[in-house]
């Protein structure tokens, strides 16, 4: 990867929005990149809209603050306001939405049912790590192996089954995003 790549992640409290940016930043760091990740919260409660941000760069990151023109947007909860989620996204930007079916308000997106994958593999509806697998497949900015390594490091204090389940979930979504299980825009 050359230059700066900016990612914005939208979701709701309890879906792992902050953790998704943190794991993605760790995967970038493990890949030899400079990274920055952070989140903003409205009211700090389960279900409240949250956004998190991640910058990955082959050079020093001198920019600080929110990401207004992301190269990619990940939407963990498709019920969020699409105008807010898509605001400022670059024309060539990549959009990954957690949904079991296409949603017209999210045009030019790839849809992956990361919540179902998470439920099947970790027993909880927390799609954050699963959808990162799809994100890596769509963008090809980091190797999947570095994401799996980042999950192990960031979840080191968790139960081994939770770590293994999250890794399996990201592998499944990675595969789905490259095949017929992903639903491209207009599909």
What is d(CA 52, CA 40) in angstroms, rounded to the nearest whole number? 6
What is d(CA 99, CA 74) in angstroms, rounded to the nearest whole number? 11
Is residue 175's pLDDT more than 50?
yes
pLDDT at residue 42, rounded to an integer: 66
What is d(CA 53, CA 73) in angstroms, rounded to the nearest whole number? 9
Q: Which residues pair with 34 in a beta bridge?
A: 57
pLDDT at residue 45, rounded to an integer: 74
- The percentage of residues in the chain with a pLDDT greater than 70, rounded to a whole number, is 93
Quick one: DSSP state of residue 155?
T
Domain 4-184 has CATH 3.40.920.10: yes
Of 57, 114, 101, 106, the C-alpha closest to 83 is 106
Q: Where are the domains of the chain?
A: 4-184
Q: Give the residue with greater pLDDT, 180 vs 147.
A: 147
Sheet holding 49-57, edge to edge: 34-41, 49-57, 4-12, 72-75, 94-98, 110-112, 183-184
pLDDT at residue 43, rounded to an integer: 63
> pTM value?
0.93
pLDDT at residue 187, rounded to an integer: 47
Of 69, 171, 159, 174, the C-alpha closest to 123 is 159
Q: Which residues pair with 97 in a beta bridge?
A: 75, 111
What is d(CA 120, CA 116) in angstroms, rounded to the nearest whole number? 6
Answer whether 1's CB lies under 8 Å from 59's CB. no
Q: Give the residue with greater pLDDT, 183 vs 77.
A: 77
Q: Give the residue with greater pLDDT, 104 vs 185.
A: 104
Query: What separation in angstroms does the CA of 18 have from each of 1, 71, 99, 117?
Result: 23, 18, 20, 19
Instruction: List pLDDT tens digits, range 117-140.
Output: 999 999 999 999 999 999 999 999
pLDDT at residue 2, rounded to an integer: 81
Instruction: List pLDDT tens digits, range 28-67.
Output: 999 999 999 998 876 667 888 999 999 999 999 999 889 9
Strands (DSSP E) found in 28-178: 34-41, 49-57, 72-75, 94-98, 110-112
């Amino acid at each position: 990867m050359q230059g700066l790549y900016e990612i914005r992640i939208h979701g709701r409290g309890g879906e792992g929005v902050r953790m998704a940016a943190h794991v993605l930043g760790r995967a970038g760091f493990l890949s030899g990149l400079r990274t920055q990740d952070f989140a903003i919260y409205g009211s700090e409660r389960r279900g409240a809209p949250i956004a998190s941000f991640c910058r990955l760069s082959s050079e020093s990151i001198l920019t600080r603050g929110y990401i207004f023109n992301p190269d990619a947007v990940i939407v963990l909860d498709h019920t969020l306001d699409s105008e807010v989620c898509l605001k400022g996204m670059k024309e060539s930007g990549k959009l990954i939405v957690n949904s079991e079916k296409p949603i017209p308000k999210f045009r030019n997106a790839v849809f992956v049912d990361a919540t179902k994958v998470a439920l099947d593999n970790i027993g909880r509806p927390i799609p954050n790590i699963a959808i990162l697998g799809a994100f890596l497949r769509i963008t090809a900015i980091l190797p999947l192996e570095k994401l799996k390594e980042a999950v192990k490091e960031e979840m080191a204090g968790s139960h081994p089954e939770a770590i293994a389940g999250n890794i399996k979930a990201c592998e499944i979504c990675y595969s789905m995003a490259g095949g017929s299980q992903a639903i491209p825009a207009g599909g």
